Amino acid sequence: MMEWMRRNRFVLSGNLHGGTVVASYPFDDSKSHKSSGIYSKSADDEVFKYLAKAYASNHPIMKTGTPNCPGEEKETFKDGITNGAQWYDVEGGMQDYNYLWANCFEVTFELSCCKYPPASQLEQEWLNNRESLLTFIEKVHIGIKGFVRDSVTGAALENATIAVAGIAHNITTGQFGDYYRLLVPGTYNITASATGYLPVTTEIIEVKEENATVLDFSLHPAVTVLTSRPTKEAPITISNSLDNTAITTAVNRTTSARQVIQPDDFRHHHFPDMGIFLRKFATEYPNITRLYSVGKSVEQRELYAMEISDNPGIHEAGEPEFKYIANMHGNEVVGRELLLNLIEYLCKNYGTNPEVTDLIQKTRIHIMPSMNPDGYEKSIEGDVSGVFGRNNSNNYDLNRNFPDQFVQIAEPLQPETIAVMNWLKTYPFVLSANLHGGSLVVNYPYDDNRLGIATYSISPDDAVFQQLALAYAKENVEMFQGHPCDNLYPDEYFPHGITNGANWYNVPGGMQDWNYLNTNCFEVTIELGCVKYPKAEELPKYWEKNRQSLLQFIKQVHQGVRGFVLDATDGRGILNATIDIASVDHYVSTYKAGDYWRLLAPGTYKITASARGYNSETKMVKVEENNAAQVNFTLSRKGPKVEEGSTLHVNM
């Protein structure tokens, strides 16, 4: 069923049950999981009540609200409808899954007191439900509908987001840029956004009772390139091993033994200084850098990102993409300065230092020194554990602002959050770290849980996340010891300097979980020190303690398996093919050239590649340390067949 829902963009659904007579709508369970009596309200509660009443009001028994089922004669439902959890708590229900993980609104209909009535009663059941069934189908046409297109080319924008102001639930567009958003009659402000495009908001859209209001959007490209670099895709070249000979040759042998050049710009860079710094290195090292912006902050500061690659501006098929983000909390500044140090270090040592050259030639690296430049400008040097400048200019914590799997985030998505989400959908990132301050530890997903308490919240890739976290922590001696801030938190201890996020403390709306659940990217959060805004003279020691950790973590992008999924007919790469690991309930998908990267801990795995319209293929692979196994798939196209739910017509 989940696969069926994933393949087809359903808008509305009814799930037919028996045992009483009522229409039950989301949510089916609550945080407390109390057996009954808890109204678990969804963001679209008014829509669901409208849909439920549409069915119930046309059913002669349901609309009375008194099913009179044997043994439950006193059970009543106002207007013949009920919130699922208020009736009784159902964990893992299908209607909630439809709403939370697809574009589909589903209501559960209990059709009769008798679950398996005699055949003689079926005609009466049809008469009772006929008008309700037809009316419910008609409701797929309420609300708004339309297309989202590129304003320059007119091309359809698939997976664009449609957001309704005041309703914390979004839907996405289909293959042709089409969308359908169910809404009750009223007036709304609607925003369309897409990866790499500026969002557009249309205000005061009137939704009427009958046909859906048509609302089309044209979005303008958003990513601003600040240095002139190519942005095309590199041609596909498949090989079973990276060309280490070429990498070695690229290093000037006469200078490879030269001492590594360390950064020398150790100071706090306010926004104008940071811009000058980034432009300086983009200008001085044009062959390996590209400076761009992913959007703007509330106060219209650029959200700078520096790409470092041997072919900047180009995704080289088969080469993984990596990112570092810092300064999400404006007063946590160590990560911001470390990433500027890292940019300087990589640029100055490329071509002379084998380790740096190897990284840049094998990896497309993106570095965002500051996600919250507005908060930074309000922060105060010397702040140890304060919160002044932590939030953005609208006073929202950006690390509580991402859509969450367990709770509805009520706060509006912030410009910085939207920009980063779009950024993550623009590039095929494989691995990421989010640099913070206030402790000394690497924490990994999940960051929260259904209960909202501090307890271990395990992800399907827990072993991989522990491996990634350790890769950073073990290179930082103080972090690895696990006793971070004796003066501030004397009882705090993290074995080997790592922790599960939710086991430390519960963080709904965190960025690292959103990365993992909504993209191919694995992200951890790194706390770099107990002092959030240290004095400038302390910065060199932070670089010395973290330099090797920063480099070692980038190298982890080359663990697990990698390869291509190709069409057997023409050899072309298959976009959005799915890569599944038999023992791990988390998949990744292929990029434009059919290339994929799947981080895994050492072991033996059964891996399956599948794509719509193709026969799937399964292979066994052994994953070893310090190397990514190359596993390519060639999928054959499926012949004509009868899809599920269709009718086969045979001419006699």
Who contacts 123 (Cβ-Cβ below 8 Å, separation ≥6)?
none
Rg (CA), the chain: 27
Report residue 640 as tokens. 């004509």
Domain 561-637: homologous superfamily in CATH: Carboxypeptidase-like, regulatory domain (2.60.40.1120)
pLDDT of residue 199: 85
pLDDT at 67: 94
As given in the structure block, the two tokens for residue 267 are 């100071």
Q: What is the CATH number of domain 1-140?
A: 3.40.630.10
| Residue 331 to residue 317: CA distance in whole angstroms | 38
Question: Of 110, 302, 307, 416, which residue is the catalytic one?
Answer: 110
Tell me which residue of 320, 324, 285, 278 sits closest to 302, measured CA to CA.
278
Instruction: Give the torsion sign (CA, 466, 607, 309, 274).
Output: negative
pLDDT at position 3 is 81
Determine the Cα–Cα distance for residues 478 and 397; give it in Å rounded to an integer: 28
Is 527 considered catalytic here?
yes
**What order do you get walking across the sheet with 584-589 strand by strand?**
584-589, 578-581, 603-610, 617-623
Angle at 517 between CA 93 and CA 242, to 5 degrees: 140
Pick the catalytic residue from 302, 321, 475, 527.
Answer: 527
Where the chain has pLDDT below 70, the residues are 222-258, 640-652
Choose among 223, 220, 194, 198: nearest CA to 291. Answer: 223
Classify domain 144-221 at the CATH topology level.
Answer: Immunoglobulin-like (2.60.40)
CATH superfamily to which 271-556 belongs? Zn peptidases (3.40.630.10)
Query: Can you give the pLDDT at residue 76?
Result: 94
Q: What is the DSSP letter of 313?
A: T
pTM above 0.85, yes or no: no
- What single letter denotes the amino acid at residue 347? C
> Residue 603 is encoded by which pair of tokens?
């072991």
What pLDDT is recorded for position 209?
Answer: 86
The token pair that represents 334 in the structure block: 């160590």
The predicted pLDDT at position 222 comes to 62
> Directed axis angle between helix 45-56 and helix 122-138, to 10°?
140
CA geometry: angle 536, 537, 543, nearest 5 deg: 85
**Cβ pair 158, 173 in contact under 8 A:** yes
What is the domain partition of the chain in residue ranges?
1-140, 144-221, 271-556, 561-637
If phi over 0 gives left and psi between -120 and 50 gives alpha, with beta otherwise, what is residue 413?
beta
Of 467, 472, 469, the closest CA to residue 545 belongs to 472
Annotated active-site residue 203? The verdict is: no
User: Do 271-556 and 1-140 fall under one CATH topology?
Assistant: yes
